[in-house]
Amino acid sequence: MKKLDWYILKKFLTVFFFSIFLFAVIAVVIDVSEKTDDFVKSGFSAGEIFTRYYIGFIPHIIALLFPLFVFIAVIFFTSKMAGQTEIIAILASGITYDRWLRPYWLGGALLGVLLWVSNFWFIPKANTIRGSFEAAYVDSRSSYNALVRGSSDIYFRIDSFTYAGIYAYDTSFNRGSSFFAYQMNKDKIIYNIRASDIIWDTATKSWMLSDVIERNIYDNREVVTYSPTLHKKFAFKPVDLEKDKYTKDKLTTPELIKQINLEALRGSEGLNELKIERYRRDATPLTVLLLTLIGGIIAGRKVRGGSGSHLALGFMIAALFIITDRFSTIFSTKGNLPPLIAAWIPNLIFIWVVYYLYKKAAK
């Protein structure tokens, strides 16, 4: 790398990390003001609140707005360079336009890889801390303290051949009523079990059923068995029945892939949300690179409006990207758009935006 690369990369990374740090401080201040009552009710000291909540909240908010702040940082320092005619001097010295863009490629790729690695391991760990605190002390309707009643019955697939359902499952005590399960062989039911109550036995790590009726169905006969109590080791645990809205954010990528396979086996309705999260973790690093190039190309031209016009145009492009991303997500979770396509549509569109801006740029 040459002095030019180090010069631009230093400006890029300095502005980015300063802006993201400043925003994190502002976000924490705003969040403290909103959750003061919750913190007081929790009974934790300031140090405990930081270790139990903010050590997870800060990485979450940074990762959430990471691409946007990369974009803003690029526009800000590049526009300043253009305003001081530095870019004109660089190009006039014989440096080609493509050569001038090289540090933007390097910086965007570096930050994209950083975000990818963080989303792979570290951000899910931080979301576990944040989500656990919010579920316990902020969100009163979460699975940590809510009773899933009859209007929210649980129906799921245990394995490739077995289906089950539980009425009024209580996540606080890991118990429910009116449990049933049946096993299929092709298009025929070969086994059925029903129980008035089901509760998780922590000692045996199995489910204890009450008033159990089992039916084994054969070609020409049926065997019915009644048991007052029965312990069964089903292929699901209490954690699998908790409707935790933070689940997809808490899982590392290997855990998320495993959860997707499990939910696909069970035929869960929220499968597309998990898949979109999985594919977005791979798509977002490319988003960082694309926004870096867009910001550099837009702000690299000296205009009368200076940084203001560059920022205005940049925010319009960022808003278009967010709208595209939201629409593709909705069409996937509520419609028939494949999650892989939904996660990559914004990038596919903005690749053409980068190409168009590059062709139109004054070189």
d(C-alpha 286, C-alpha 116), whole Å = 9
pLDDT score of 176 more than 80: yes
Specify the long-range contacts of residues 303-311, CB closer than 8 Å, at least 24 apart.
303/82, 306/79, 306/83, 307/75, 307/76, 307/79, 307/80, 307/83, 310/75, 310/78, 310/79, 311/72, 311/75, 311/76, 311/79
Q: Is 2 helix (H, G, I), strand (E, B) or coil?
A: coil
Query: Which residue, among 180, 229, 182, 234, has the nearest Cα to 207 in the 3D structure?
Result: 234
Residue with tokens 């300095």: 14
Asked if 80 and 18 count as a contact pair (C-beta separation under 8 A), the reply is no
Q: How far apart are CA 177 and CA 196, in angstroms?
A: 5
Residue with tokens 């300031």: 46
- The pLDDT of residue 244: 62
- Structure-token pair, residue 236: 């699901």
Convert the pLDDT of each residue in 269-288 to its tens digit: 678 888 998 999 999 999 99
Q: Is the pTM value of this prediction over 0.85? A: no
Q: Are 75 and 314 in contact (CB under 8 A)?
A: yes
- The pLDDT tens digits of the residues spanning 14-23 come to 999 998 999 8
In contact, 59 and 118? CB cutoff 8 Å:
yes
Residue 142 is predicted with a pLDDT of: 43
Q: First-to-last CA distance in the chain? A: 22
Q: d(Cα 278, Cα 286) in Å, to the nearest integer? A: 14
Cβ-based burial of 240 (10 A; exposed 0-12, middle 13-18, buried ≥19): middle
Best CA proximity match to 259, nearest among 155, 174, 250: 250
Q: Which residues contact 8 (CB under 8 A, 6 or more apart)?
A: 103, 104, 107
Q: Of the given ranges (13-22, 54-63, 330-339), which has the lowest mean pLDDT?
A: 330-339
| In contact, 119 and 63? CB cutoff 8 Å | yes
State mean pLDDT over 292-299. Answer: 89
CA distance 139 to 147: 14
pLDDT of residue 328: 85
Could you report the per-residue pLDDT of 244-260, keeping only the tens digit for each?
Answer: 666 788 888 998 898 88
pLDDT band of 151, cuts 50, 70, 90: very low
What value does the mean pLDDT of the chain take? 84
In degrees and rounded to multiples of 5, residue 158 shows phi and psi of -75, -50
Question: Which sign does the torsion angle of CA 151, 129, 124, 32 carry?
Answer: positive
